[in-house]
Structure 1
Amino acid sequence: MILQTAQPMRARDLLRRPFTNSFLKHVGAGIVVSFFTGLLVGAFRWIIDHTLEVLWFIYPQMTRHPWLLIPYVLLMFLIAGLIARTIRGEELDLLGSGIPQIEAILLGKHQMKWWAVLWRKFVGGLLAICPGLFLGREGPCIQMGACIGEGFSEKVFHLSNDDRHLLLQCGAAAGLAAAFSAPLAGTVFLLEEVTHDFKNRVWVPTLSACIAADFATFLYFGTRPCLYLPIKMNLPFNAYPWLLVAGVVIGAGAYGFQYCILNLKWWYSKLTIIPDRFHSIVPLLLVIPVGLWNAKLLGGSHKVIQFLSIMPNSRGWWHYLILLVAFLVIRFVGTMISYGATVPGGIFMPIFVLGGIWGAIFGLLMVHAGILPAACYLNMIVLGMTAYIAATEGTPITSILLATEMIGSIEQILPMAIVTFVAYYTSMALGSQPFIYDALREEMTFEK
């Protein structure tokens, strides 16, 4: 008996026909959404950066001429009133970063009035961040991108609910990519933190969207990484055991950050003397003495990290260490007071700054102890930023990619991974929430 064998399959039997993959039709729509997101976020970034430069001029003037404090304090009261008026009626969507609200939409627990949120988040975010509150630009950028995705899906493309969610995701990821000029981090942040979904249908349109948004920001800022640090030397092998110590301490610090930020609503609820919608006056007034001391501490602020990058001479290291601890305390307390108030704004960049200060403290101690050469001081700042944000937000992959893209160096991947893992594990072992925005979402009451 002769057995019949099946004919071998050919390539055309296995490959798809060209341009028939279902998710590819969303790539073009995602690029359109994200290019407009990049343009809007670029303008948002540009206004914030230039306003903070104005503060660096104004505060020294007030130091020399104290009478100028009177009109400036009155201006803060006016800004608090404008913030209250801007967010009125849309507080649930406008307060905070906006990322928990986006997650609630994707889970089918919430709906968003995209146009009302878009312009109010833009105006409210500028009103909160430009006076120097310790808030990040990335939260408003992510939510504005999501609003643009919602708007295009409703008014232009007329998509189904699932496809509308996909465009919203593209816009949100593009917002982060444009905020930091980091398309890979924007893509992975959406997958790792927001959707927890690594399917091709999601990540391919998202990546194309992030690239388009980043390209749009080139029109404002060029191609230079937004937080370029000239890393010139790799860490020596004898420093690696100390990275474990740094990771444990940073992880414990990240747990402390989560503990405090998840208590903010409860703490602010005790401030009954001021109506909720005017709570912004508290941080607006408290940043004034900080600005009078050092205006470059104000804002998000990547300028703090650039200041940290200047290694002091060995004779003044002890005084610089005290200054770094003071920076850490001021930035931590200021971030809590700012984010807990009724204002729009994110925590990504403030966390990044706190991590940079942690890294600078370890770097200074390790250089002084002879563990590191002075040229590796910058390396520790980068490692501190990466580990702290990973352990706080629960996004280790995003954190490594974000630091790499923002700083413009891939030399530190292994030590980044080591410190990040140890910090992340330490924070989780102490009881941190795996995803901070999930925890913040649980604090909110959503009505569909």
Structure 2
Amino acid sequence: MNHEPDFFQNLRAELSGWRSWIDRAIVLTYAIAAGLFVVGFTIAADWAFAQFESIYHRWPLAVLVWTPALTALIAWITLRWFPGAAGSGIPQIKAALSPALPPERRGLFVSLRLTLAKIVLGVGGFAAGLSVGREGPSVQVAAGVMQHARRWLSPGSSIDTRALLTAGGAAGIAAAFNAPLAGVVFAIEELTGRLEARAAGLIITSIVLSGLVAVSAFGNLTYFGVIRVPPLGWELLGPGVLVALVSGAAGGLFSRLMAVSLTGMPDRFNAWRARWPVRFAAAGGLAIAVIGLVTEGATFGAGSETVKRVLAGEVELSPLYALLKGVVTWITAWCGVPGGIFAPSLSIGAGLGDVVARLADPSLSTALIAMGMAGFLAAVTQAPLTAFIIVMEMVDGHSMVLSLMSSAMLASLVSRMISRPLYEALAEHMVAKAVSSPARTEPENER
């Protein structure tokens, strides 16, 4: 026989459990700290890239020395002391959440030490002008902070490490993009595959607190501003489908190329990379510098500012922008430096949308650029819900919900015919490597 809840009895039970309230306070404190770390990372990354741009505008040819040298230094430090900080950060969290990974090996992928290293080395990547984003790294940064809370919780606490990692990863995405809804969807679609009832409150609370910290620092601003979309009708159907198909095919090929390169498939270049990783990084940095000079600086950095200016109608992209931005993003990741691909993927997608708009109807340029961003990001990550919500929240594009959703879903479907999900492939490779390698974990006092 079902009984209605007794409010006063439940209230007394809640208030009598003083230790659970202490645990909650600890988690809330760490959620705020995670937001502060992401905000600090954002400010430092923006400052570092501004310094790079200053060097580039004063002495353009200096990047032919500066970028390769700093890329080689970052790769050497990462390989020598912080191998778990290399790359995006999202595969590391997926690996840490994998049931196949022994709990004592989680320190290889997430810890407070790696959080600090990710920030410093990630900022270095921006200072070098590499094609990196800070959103993927923000996931590892925030998760590293959140999981550290476990050492202060009571032994009987229902908040486990998996819940803390998931909450931290979601909070990292939400704070980095100022997109709280995307953080929730990201936790479900990319990290866990489902949202357990007991973890839901923790995840949402972490997103809210870290998001409040970000909003307090930067204001309630959208990532790419507010786009001005003209009234849309059936004239968008043909070009929109074309953008989704092109983005899906390009994103699938890009994802497959990244997976092959980063998992060390046997070929001449990966053999050279394995034998001389620092020299390989220097060569990659030189290639990035040369392409940046050829494109007059358009391919340096994450590409966010370039997309902002394109959406505002201030500049025009080269028809080859998407291709060249994809190349420098691939080379950057292949060099083994810490840095994400979310923001560069959005920039590549914007370039694809711009090309289609020029061929079809320039008056639809803004809408097609937004659809290209959602489509390419969905194709690379094969997480269409996260992709379209991120773009919708970043451009305040609520009037384009159906268009963005359709583009992301179709592009993801095309990508699945070409490649496996990128983050899943990288996470499985990391887990297999960690399980087969000799035990090496972070010291307990650094987790």
Alignment TM-score, normalising by the size of structure 2:
0.85
* Equivalent residue for 2:333, pick from 310, 334, 339: 339
Q: 1:216 to 1:432 in 2, by over 3 A?
A: same
Structure 2 counterpart of 1:17, one-letter code: N
Structure 1 counterpart of 2:286, one-letter code: L
Q: 1:233 to 1:288 in 2, by over 3 A?
A: same
* CA distance in 2 between partners of 1:289 and 1:307 (Å): 23
Structure 2 counterpart of 1:437, one-letter code: Y
* CA distance in 2 between partners of 1:47 and 1:162 (Å): 32
The yes-or-no answer on 1:262 pairing with 2:259 is: yes
* Equivalent residue for 2:239, pick from 228, 242, 253: 242
* Equivalent residue for 2:414, pick from 414, 426, 437: 426
**Unpaired runs of at least 5, structure 1:** 1-5, 314-319, 369-373
* CA distance in 1 between partners of 2:156 and 2:272 (Å): 45
Partner of 1:146: 143
The yes-or-no answer on 1:439 pairing with 2:421 is: no
| RMSD of aligned alpha carbons | 2.9
* CA distance in 2 between partners of 1:27 and 1:193 (Å): 26
Q: Equivalent residue of 2:107, what SS?
A: coil
Kindly indicate whether the alpha-carbon contact (under 8 Å) linking 1:308 and 1:357 is maintained by their aligned counterparts in 2: no
Deviation at 1:393, TM superposition (A): 0.5
* CA distance in 2 between partners of 1:97 and 1:78 (Å): 18
Q: Equivalent residue of 2:203, what SS?
A: helix
Partner of 2:166: 169
* Percent of residue pairs bearing the same amino acid type: 24
Q: Equivalent residue of 1:339, what SS?
A: helix
* CA distance in 2 between partners of 1:325 and 1:20 (Å): 64
> What is the correspondence of 1:34-433 to structure 2 with a 5 Å cutoff?
34-63=31-60, 68=62, 73=65, 76-77=68-69, 80-91=72-83, 93-108=84-99, 109=101, 110-112=105-107, 114-155=111-152, 163-264=160-261, 265-266=264-265, 268-271=269-272, 275-292=276-293, 293-311=295-313, 324-368=318-362, 374=363, 376-428=364-416, 430-433=417-420
* CA distance in 2 between partners of 1:243 and 1:79 (Å): 38
Deviation at 1:252, TM superposition (A): 1.0
Structure 2 counterpart of 1:309, one-letter code: L
Deviation at 1:354, TM superposition (A): 0.9
Q: 1:101 to 1:20 in 2, by over 3 A?
A: farther
* CA distance in 1 between partners of 2:158 and 2:195 (Å): 19
Structure 1 counterpart of 2:176, one-letter code: A
Structure 2 counterpart of 1:308, one-letter code: V
**Unpaired runs of at least 5, structure 2:** 440-447
Deviation at 1:289, TM superposition (A): 2.6
* CA distance in 2 between partners of 1:251 and 1:75 (Å): 31
Q: Equivalent residue of 2:336, what SS?
A: coil
The yes-or-no answer on 1:12 pairing with 2:9 is: no
Kindly indicate whether the alpha-carbon contact (under 8 Å) linking 1:240 and 1:415 is maintained by their aligned counterparts in 2: no
Kindly indicate whether the alpha-carbon contact (under 8 Å) linking 1:46 and 1:220 is maintained by their aligned counterparts in 2: no
Deviation at 1:13, TM superposition (A): 6.8
Q: 1:327 to 1:163 in 2, by over 3 A?
A: same
Structure 1 counterpart of 2:219, one-letter code: G
Structure 2 counterpart of 1:11, one-letter code: E
Deviation at 1:333, TM superposition (A): 0.6
Q: Equivalent residue of 1:295, what SS?
A: coil
Kindly indicate whether the alpha-carbon contact (under 8 Å) linking 2:249 and 2:418 is maintained by their aligned counterparts in 1: no
Deviation at 1:237, TM superposition (A): 2.1
Kindly indicate whether the alpha-carbon contact (under 8 Å) linking 2:323 and 2:348 is maintained by their aligned counterparts in 1: no
Kindly indicate whether the alpha-carbon contact (under 8 Å) linking 1:27 and 1:204 is maintained by their aligned counterparts in 2: no
* CA distance in 2 between partners of 1:112 and 1:281 (Å): 29
Partner of 2:444: none
Q: Equivalent residue of 1:280, what SS?
A: helix
Alignment TM-score, normalising by the size of structure 1:
0.84
Kindly indicate whether the alpha-carbon contact (under 8 Å) linking 2:239 and 2:368 is maintained by their aligned counterparts in 1: no
Structure 1 counterpart of 2:69, one-letter code: F
Deviation at 1:283, TM superposition (A): 3.0
* CA distance in 1 between partners of 2:314 and 2:360 (Å): 13
Deviations 1:292-337 (A, max 9, x none): 3422431112112113225489xxxxxx6xx533211210110110
* CA distance in 1 between partners of 2:424 and 2:274 (Å): 30
Q: 1:59 to 1:75 in 2, by over 3 A?
A: closer
Q: Equivalent residue of 1:443, what SS?
A: helix
Q: 1:49 to 1:404 in 2, by over 3 A?
A: same
Structure 1 counterpart of 2:414, one-letter code: T
* CA distance in 2 between partners of 1:393 and 1:19 (Å): 46
* CA distance in 1 between partners of 2:70 and 2:292 (Å): 19
Deviation at 1:229, TM superposition (A): 3.3
